[in-house]
């Protein structure tokens, strides 16, 4: 997929990217050696091959064919991250790449619970990301506010404990300001948003924003969107929905998005791995033409998704939704408006 010069040059904002999903094979190889973490691959070529994970959410969806799932591949990658410097380098690699892609502002997700159970202190992870946040803005001009995800297939109490450990790095009074929101990610099979209501309540009370994944075509996807919109914290629980494309399945969900003004962070390339062009892009076009539904385009886990980054995802929408250049500029502006950037940053970006 050739990215057109117009899309390449478009100023961008990215609101749905998992920092662990930007780990390149080369950085992973380097960190494995540096930290003496054994990889289940004998050669660099075998490691590269492992990134060829086609969409395979067997446990997330139904059935089991024995192959590693997407999320197993993604979490396997996190094993090489151990030292503060590693997290810093991962963060810097993304922000440097982001600058090349003309991303001006980003809100990367991180999964603290991938590290705490291995005995890595929260400070190691968060100091590393915070150093990248600061230096990435200075050196590459990419500002970022980060989002701590609850890993929803792990125990709720573990998520709450992780949040409490991370709180000094949150944008709270007296906090260090790395992250300004919490999210909900990982395998959502039988893990509805309501399970995490208490965790969301804590974050809200701390003045943080809340978002949650309602991934496309998961079992119970419409039910999870319904909960996110109407049930969690009496319908005031979430400020955005990550993915949420299945809102198209039920009129009351679209109505809820419009009435509550809940935007969607969509990742078209992620869906394109398992939906045909002529099935997927008309859905996005329908959302584009719908009054009052706001969405933006993002990458999700670019290194685990055929190395397609936000520019590739935007190119697909540009081509297959039949949007004009003016539409694409409007889509880019949507991302600024949907973001939780500080008011003065937003003004500058618009
Ligand atoms: N789905 C759910 N959670 C995730 C993903 C995903 O594709 N990537 C990183 N966390
Ligand atoms: Zn995601």
Ligand 1: does its nearest atom lie under 6 Å from the Cβ of 78? no
Task: Judge whether 108 and 147 are in contact, CB under 8 Å.
Answer: yes
Other residues' Cβ atoms within 10 Å of the Cβ of residue 99: 15
For residue 135, the number of C-alpha atoms closer than 13 Å in the C-beta half-sphere is 16
Query: Looking at the predicted complex, does its ipTM rise above 0.95?
Result: yes
Residue 63 pLDDT grade (very low, low, confident, very high; cuts 50, 70, 90): very low
Report the nearest atom of ligand 1 relative to the CA of 20. Answer: 9
Cα–Cα distances (Å) from 88 to 19, 78, 96, 298, in that order, read 11, 14, 12, 22
Q: Is the pLDDT of residue 67 over 90?
A: no
68-125 pLDDT, tens digit each:
788 988 999 999 999 999 999 999 999 999 999 999 999 999 999 999 999 999 999 9
What backbone torsions phi and psi does residue 203 show, to the nearest 5 degrees?
-65, -45
- What local confidence, expressed as pLDDT, does residue 54 receive? 58
- What local confidence, expressed as pLDDT, does residue 294 receive? 98
The residue whose CA has the least distance to atom 6 of ligand 1 is 186
Give residues whose Cβ lies within 5 Å of ion ligand 2. 300
Full-prediction pTM beyond 0.80?
yes
Which of 53, 74, 306 gets mutated to test ligand 1 (max ligand atoms within 8 A of its CB)? 74
Task: Judge whether 17 and 108 are in contact, CB under 8 Å.
Answer: yes
What backbone torsions phi and psi does residue 216 show, to the nearest 5 degrees?
-70, 130
Which of 20, 301, 313 gets mutated to test ligand 1 (max ligand atoms within 8 A of its CB)? 301
Name the closest ligand to CA 243. Answer: 2
Check residue 144 and report its DSSP letter: E
Which of 72, 159, 185, 271 gets mutated to test ligand 1 (max ligand atoms within 8 A of its CB)? 185
From the list 78, 84, 85, 58, the residue with the least C-alpha distance to 69 is 58
Q: Is the dihedral angle over the CA atoms 84, 89, 92, 93 positive or is it negative?
A: negative
Task: Judge whether 74 and 21 are in contact, CB under 8 Å.
Answer: yes
Residue 49 pLDDT grade (very low, low, confident, very high; cuts 50, 70, 90): confident
The residue whose CA has the least distance to atom 2 of ligand 1 is 186
Q: Can you tell me which residue has the tokens 């998704």?
A: 305
Q: Dump strand ranges (E) for 236-275.
A: 240-243, 264-266
Q: Which residues contact 47 (CB under 8 A, 6 or more apart)?
A: 25, 28, 29, 39, 41
329-340 pLDDT, tens digit each:
999 999 999 999
Check residue 66 and report its DSSP letter: S
Ligand 1: does its nearest atom lie under 6 Å from the Cβ of 298? no
3-state helix, strand, coil in the chain (%, to 5): 55, 15, 30
Give the integer Cα–Cα distance in Å for 198 and 156: 9
Name the closest ligand to CA 185. Answer: 1
């Amino acid at each position: 997929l050739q990215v057109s010069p117009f899309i390449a040059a478009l100023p961008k904002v990215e609101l749905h990217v998992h920092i662990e999903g930007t780990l390149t094979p080369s950085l992973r190889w380097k960190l494995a050696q540096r930290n003496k973490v054994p990889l289940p691959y004998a050669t660099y070529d075998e490691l590269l091959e492992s990134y060829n994970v086609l969409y395979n959410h067997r446990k997330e969806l139904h059935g089991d064919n024995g192959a590693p799932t997407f999320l197993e591949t993604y979490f396997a990658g996190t094993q090489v991250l151990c030292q503060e410097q590693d997290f810093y380098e991962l963060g810097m690699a993304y922000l440097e790449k982001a600058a090349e892609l003309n991303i001006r502002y980003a809100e990367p997700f991180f999964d603290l619970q991938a590290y705490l159970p291995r005995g890595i202190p929260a400070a190691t992870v968060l100091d590393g990301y915070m150093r990248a946040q600061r230096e990435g803005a200075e050196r590459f001009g990419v500002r970022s506010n980060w989002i701590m995800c609850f890993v929803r297939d792990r125990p709720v109490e573990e998520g709450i404990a992780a949040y409490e450990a991370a709180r000094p790095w949150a944008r709270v009074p007296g906090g260090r300001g790395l992250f300004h929101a919490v999210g909900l990610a990982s395998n959502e099979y039988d893990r509805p948003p309501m399970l995490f209501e208490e965790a969301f309540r804590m974050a809200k009370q701390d003045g943080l924003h809340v978002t949650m994944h309602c991934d496309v075509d998961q079992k119970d996807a419409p039910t999870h969107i319904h909960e996110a919109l109407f049930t969690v914290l009496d319908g005031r629980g979430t400020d955005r929905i990550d993915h949420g494309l299945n809102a198209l399945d039920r009129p009351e969900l679209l109505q809820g998005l419009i009435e509550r003004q809940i935007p969607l962070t969509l990742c078209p390339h992620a869906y394109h791995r398992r939906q045909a062009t002529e099935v997927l892009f008309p859905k996005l076009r329908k959302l584009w033409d719908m009054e009052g539904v706001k969405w933006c385009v993002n990458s999700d886990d670019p290194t685990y998704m055929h190395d397609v980054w936000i520019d590739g995802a935007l190119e697909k929408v540009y081509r297959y939704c039949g949007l004009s250049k003016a539409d694409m500029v409007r889509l880019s502006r949507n991302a600024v408006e949907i973001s939780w950037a500080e008011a003065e940053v937003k003004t500058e970006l618009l």
